[in-house]
């Protein structure tokens, strides 16, 4: 929208002020009034002219510093709205807007739309205010959140696994250690679960952690590192053995699965593949919903 602004310009407290007309062009309806003035000021500065002086602080409708009088009304007259929160959608294309400072004898105009508020500060310093207990900011953790929204925001419904191959076994072990060191940043309630550790064949290192989102298994076999997060431990151990066996010691092999492939989206009466074969393909994207895994486990029983 395009607007005509009649703005009070006053060089300083001693000078005589006057209304000056400006054109504000291409104003977006989602701009705040102050953003609209910012754009006008950029144009003025680009032309080498003095920008319109106005006050603002929070620009969040809290402090009230942006007070000015718009079309004869303090803060523009929208209920409960300060100028910094007043949006241009409240104005019409082609409208003329009168912008003046808040005029009162104890608050002389310092420049343009800025007034001297020190009289107000002196009143406050002298104790001339009332305290109103508006309560504390609500504790975010105390706000009730719908179950669905909470579940969607949580990673608790996710289970993931990763297989990586390294240059040599020393590199693989170094990676496994680094990965374990970083788990504390990702999960709360992290603890090394020594009781859950099973006996492993020679050449296989296994670390099991418990977290608030389920177990984390890190298995190192030769140059390979397998990580399962949030799977039930029994399933994680089975996956680790299956996938490391399937990979062996050769080049990393990739698998993919198409929607509707055997073992996925099966309907009653269709022939079913063994759970493990379906899972290995299903997991090949390296990230699945835990709910889907559990559904697959149930379906195979």
75/221 with CB nearer ligand FES = 75
Q: How far is the CB of 172 from ligand FES (least distance, A)?
A: 56
- Please report how close the Cβ of residue 79 comes to ligand FES at its closest, in angstroms: 15
- CB closer to ligand FES, 79 vs 144: 79
**Residue 296 has which token pair?**
């697959």
Compare residues 64 and 222 and give the one whose CB is closer to ligand FES.
64
Q: Closest distance between ligand FES and the C-beta of residue 76, in Å?
A: 11
Nearer to ligand FES, 76 or 263 (CB): 76
Shortest distance in whole angstroms from residue 67 CB to ligand FES: 8
Residues that bind ligand FES (CB under 6 A): 56-59, 61-66, 82-84
- Cβ 143 to ligand FES shortest distance, Å: 25
Q: How far is the CB of 2 from ligand FES (least distance, A)?
A: 25
Nearer to ligand FES (CB atom), residue 56 or residue 169: 56
Nearer to ligand FES, 70 or 217 (CB): 70
């Amino acid at each position: 929208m395009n607007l005509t602004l009649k703005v009070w310009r006053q060089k300083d407290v001693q000078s005589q002020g006057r209304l000056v007309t400006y054109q504000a062009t291409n104003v977006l309806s989602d701009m705040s009034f102050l953003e609209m003035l910012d754009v006008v000021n950029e144009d003025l500065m680009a032309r080498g002219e003095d920008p319109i002086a106005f006050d603002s602080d929070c620009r969040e409708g809290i402090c009230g510093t942006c007070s000015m009088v718009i079309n004869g009304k303090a803060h523009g007259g929208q209920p409960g709205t300060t100028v910094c929160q007043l949006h241009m959608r409240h104005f019409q294309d082609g409208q003329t807007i009168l912008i003046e400072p808040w005029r009162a004898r104890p608050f002389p105009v310092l420049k343009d739309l800025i007034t001297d508020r020190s009289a107000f500060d002196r009143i406050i310093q002298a104790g001339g205010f009332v305290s109103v207990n508006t309560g504390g900011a609500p504790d975010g953790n105390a706000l009730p959140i719908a179950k669905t929204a909470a579940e969607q925001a949580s990673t608790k419904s996710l289970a993931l696994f990763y297989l990586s191959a390294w240059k040599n076994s020393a590199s693989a072990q170094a990676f496994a250690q680094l990965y374990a060191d970083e788990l504390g940043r990702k999960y709360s309630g992290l603890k090394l679960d020594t009781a859950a550790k099973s006996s492993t064949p020679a050449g296989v290192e296994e670390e099991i952690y418990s977290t608030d989102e389920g177990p984390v298994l890190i298995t190192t076999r030769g140059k390979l590192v397998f990580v399962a997060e949030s799977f039930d431990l029994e399933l994680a151990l089975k996956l680790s053995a299956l996938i490391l066996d399937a990979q062996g010691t050769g080049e990393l092999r990739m698998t993919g699965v198409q929607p509707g492939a055997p073992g996925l989206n099966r309907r009653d009466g269709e022939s079913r593949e063994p759970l493990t074969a379906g899972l290995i393909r299903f997991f090949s994207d390296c990230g699945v919903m835990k709910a889907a895994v559990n559904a697959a486990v149930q379906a195979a029983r």
